[in-house]
Amino acid sequence: MSDLKSKSIRNIEQKMEGLEPGSLRYQVLAASKNFKSSWINLGQILYTVYKDKMFKEWGYMSFEAYCKGEIGVQQQTASKLLHSYYFLEKNEPEFLKSVQSEETPQPKSIPALDAVNVLRLAAKRQELTEDDYQEFKKSVFEDGRDGKEVKKQVGLRLRSIREEEDPQKARAERRAKTLRRLAATIKALQREVVYGHLVSDKTAQEIEKLIGFLDQEIGE
C-alpha cells in the first residue's frame, strides 16, 4: 500500500471516529475504505446520498465537493459509481440481489467497475443486438474481464458491424487510421535518430521524404 493511500485511509478512519456507526455518513466512509472489494456497496450508498442531497446537510455545496473532500473520490470515478450502480439496479437486478445478499461479498465475485461501465455504455448502442449484449455481459460477469478488455471487445464488434454495412468506407477509415499511426511513429523516431545525429544526412533526407509521402496520402 502506498503512503498516499495509507494517508487517505487514515483520514477516512479519523472522520469515522467522530460519527455514529449506524449513520448513513459513517456507512459511506466505511464503504469507501473498502472500495476495491465493495464498489457496488459504495455505489449504492452514494446513489442515496446523491438522490436525497444528503451532502448538503454535511456542509458540502455539491455532490462532487463531498466525494472529493470527504471520501477522496474524484468526480469521474463518482460518476462511474453512480451510473454503474444504477445500471445494475435497472438492468441486472438479479445479479445485484445475489451480491447484496452475501454477508461478505468476495472480490472475485464482483465485476470490475470499469467493465460494468463499458457494458452500460454498450447497452446504449442501437447498432448492437441483444446477442451482442449477452456476449459482453458474459465477459464481465462470468469471465471477469477488466474494462480495457471489454472495451476492446465492444470496439471490434462495432468495427465488424461497420464493415458489414459499408465495407468500402470501413476500409478507408481503417487505412487512414493506420497511416496516421505509422506517420506518428516515424516522426517520433525521426526526432530521436535524425536530431540526435544517429544516421547519415542521406538517410535523414529519405526519412523526411517518407514522412512527406505519408502526410500526402493521409490528406487525400
- pLDDT per position as a tens digit, 42-69: 899 999 999 999 999 999 999 999 999 9
Residues 88, 186 share a domain: no
Residues 144, 173 share a domain: no
Phi-psi group of 128: left, alpha or beta (phi > 0 → left; psi -120 to 50 → alpha; rest → beta): beta
Residues 199, 182 share a domain: yes
Residues 155, 94 share a domain: no
Cβ-Cβ contacts under 8 Å for 198 (sequence gap 6 or more): 192
Residues 79, 36 share a domain: yes
Quote the domain boundaries for residue 135.
111-165
Look up the pTM and report it.
0.64
Residue 137 has pLDDT above 90, yes or no: yes
Residue 4 has pLDDT above 50, yes or no: no
Residues 187, 138 share a domain: no
**What cell was used for 21?**
456507526
Number of domains the chain contains: 3
Residues 85, 143 share a domain: no
Q: State CA 74 to chain mean position distance.
A: 13
